[in-house]
């Protein structure tokens, strides 16, 4: 079920909302939001609800274990075993099913050991033992949102172990946190401590204030997704479908288009998630802070997908040693793992390595970079991010190399249909992304004129939703 779908807007959301506010007790509201989350999740594949429930129970049991065992081996086992279980589930469904990725990676590793691309009988035996049924793996489905709810459960386990939070003994409160439908399938990645207070006072939530600010966030996010991101996607997807025929102008339009598409698509989802949570008395953290206004690589990652970058920092970079020892190594490892988190594809790994290299260069050359004028730094960082998105979007290294070559070496080629409309949409997106305040910088107390403009934007979105095809969010695939 998509936020920008008829069944969500006209059936699911109204029913969940009105029943929630008819319930008076906190426990009943936990149960109702948990049930709503599982119903919402089941629209993709109901079978995977059991997977999420299992992960929830394992992580809840770990929290109970921390309350019982204050120190020693049993407490450490309560940390290790649930994390291994969660990561094993994530690894199997997100990476192991990509047998082609494993096959090509394995053959490359084998060639490094002089096994000639896996020609050894022993190598083939081990590889086929590992990938025992490629037809099964090809047909396996990636449970939508598994990366995000796994981050939720692991962060809860680690924070409980560290003593950052006190584990809850209420199974329905924890199940509500994991299955909260606004942030279930594409974030933001919410730590328990960020919503714990709101969950504890869910029975005292203010319906009116939550509805006002919630609809404001939701409508702005819907406009970002439907009117901007989807419009851009409709043109550049067709253009990249005939990629080999593109010239320099077309390659730049596609690169710029995807740069704005992924931002407005994902930040639009995050805004909608924040707005929906507000409607139920829960405040979710900011996930985007005008990332294309960033002045340097570090600043970019303080602004882009904040919930992921802070999780990688707190649960990976800092435990590896952070800035204390092996800083460059830690940066590279963190960004490589951040890249491969998006999926089993070498381009994602290289994209993560690319940003890791940028961060390392900035650590080394930060002083001369910071001495440059603000406008130069902002423009240079935006250009570097465009190059990164080309690598991220490309289907292969060959495509990425050819795309970048077309961008930086004058090449003749055809101009795809809709290029003029795309240029106009990019211009609008650029003004909003580079000059306008983001949703967390707005007061959300609108004048009648602005309220009418938002209402008109909502009507346009509804017309496109009811008359067109559903358009999934980009980050559902990650």
Q: Can 342 be counted among the known catalytic residues?
A: yes
Q: Cβ(336)–Cβ(353) under 8 Å?
A: yes
Among the listed residues 152, 278, 305, 342, the single catalytic one is 342
SS3 246: strand
Beta bridge partners of 414: 246
281, two tokens: 């008395």
464 Cβ contact list (under 8 Å, min separation 6)? 226, 227, 230
Using CA atoms, how far apart are residues 403 and 415, in angstroms rounded to an integer?
Answer: 15
Distances (CA, A) of 131 to 48, 93, 340, 388: 22, 13, 20, 32
Using CA atoms, how far apart are residues 63 and 82, in angstroms rounded to an integer?
Answer: 10
State phi, psi for 326 to the nearest 5 degrees: 65, 45
**How would you class 383 by CB atoms within 10 Å of its CB: exposed for 0-12, middle for 13-18, buried for 19 or more?**
exposed
Q: Cβ(50)–Cβ(56) under 8 Å?
A: no
Q: Cβ(263)–Cβ(292) under 8 Å?
A: yes
Beta bridge partners of 246: 414
Using CA atoms, how far apart are residues 378 and 369, in angstroms rounded to an integer?
Answer: 11
State phi, psi for 246 to the nearest 5 degrees: -70, 150
430, two tokens: 């650029």
Beta bridge partners of 2: none
SS3 372: coil
Q: What sign does the CA torsion over 78, 80, 82, 85 have? A: negative
Q: What sign does the CA torsion over 453, 455, 457, 463 have? A: negative
| Active centre residues (catalytic) | 342
């Amino acid at each position: 079920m998509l936020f920008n779908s008829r069944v969500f807007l006209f059936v699911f959301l109204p029913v969940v909302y009105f029943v929630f506010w008819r319930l008076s007790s906190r426990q009943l509201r936990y149960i109702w939001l948990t049930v709503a989350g599982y119903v919402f999740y089941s629209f993709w594949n109901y079978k995977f609800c059991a997977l999420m429930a299992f992960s929830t129970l394992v992580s809840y049991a770990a929290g109970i274990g921390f309350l019982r065992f204050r120190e020693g081996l049993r407490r450490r086992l309560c940390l290790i075993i649930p994390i291994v279980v969660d990561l094993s589930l994530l690894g199997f469904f997100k990476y192991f099913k990509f047998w082609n990725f494993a096959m090509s990676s394995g053959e490359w590793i084998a060639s490094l050991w002089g096994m000639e691309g896996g020609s050894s009988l022993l190598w083939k035996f081990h590889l086929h033992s590992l990938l025992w049924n490629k037809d099964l793996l090809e047909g396996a489905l990636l449970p939508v949102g598994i990366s995000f709810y796994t981050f939720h459960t692991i962060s809860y386990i680690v924070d409980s172990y560290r003593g950052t939070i006190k584990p809850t003994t209420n199974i329905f409160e924890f199940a509500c946190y994991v299955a909260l439908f606004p942030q279930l399938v594409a974030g933001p990645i919410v730590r328990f401590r960020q919503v714990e207070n709101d969950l504890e006072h869910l029975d005292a939530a203010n319906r009116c204030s939550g509805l006002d600010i919630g609809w404001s966030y939701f409508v702005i996010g819907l406009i970002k997704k439907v009117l901007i991101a989807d419009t851009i996607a409709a043109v550049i997807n067709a253009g990249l479908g005939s990629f080999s025929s593109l010239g320099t102008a077309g390659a730049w339009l596609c690169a710029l288009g995807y740069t704005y598409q992924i931002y407005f698509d994902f930040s639009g989802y995050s805004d909608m998630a924040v707005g929906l949570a507000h409607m139920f008395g829960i405040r979710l953290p900011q996930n985007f802070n005008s990332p294309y206004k960033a002045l340097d690589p570090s600043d970019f990652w303080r602004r882009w997908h904040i919930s992921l970058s802070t999780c990688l920092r707190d649960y990976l970079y800092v435990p590896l040693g952070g800035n204390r020892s092996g800083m460059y190594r830690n940066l590279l490892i963190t960004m490589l793992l951040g890249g491969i988190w998006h999926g089993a594809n070498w381009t994602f790994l290289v994209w993560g390595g690319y940003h890791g290299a940028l961060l390392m260069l900035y650590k080394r050359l930060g002083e001369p970079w910071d001495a440059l004028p603000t406008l130069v730094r902002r423009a240079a960082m935006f250009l570097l991010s465009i190059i990164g998105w080309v690598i991220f979007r490309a289907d292969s290294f060959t495509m990425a190399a050819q795309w970048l070559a077309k961008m930086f070496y004058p090449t003749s080629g055809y101009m795809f249909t809709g290029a003029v409309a795309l240029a106009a949409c990019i211009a609008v997106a650029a003004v909003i992304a580079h000059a306008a305040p983001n949703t967390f910088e707005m007061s959300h107390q609108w004048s009648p004129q602005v309220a009418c403009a938002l209402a008109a934007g909502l009507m346009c979105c509804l017309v496109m939703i009811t008359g067109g095809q559903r358009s999934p969010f980009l980050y559902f695939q990650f």
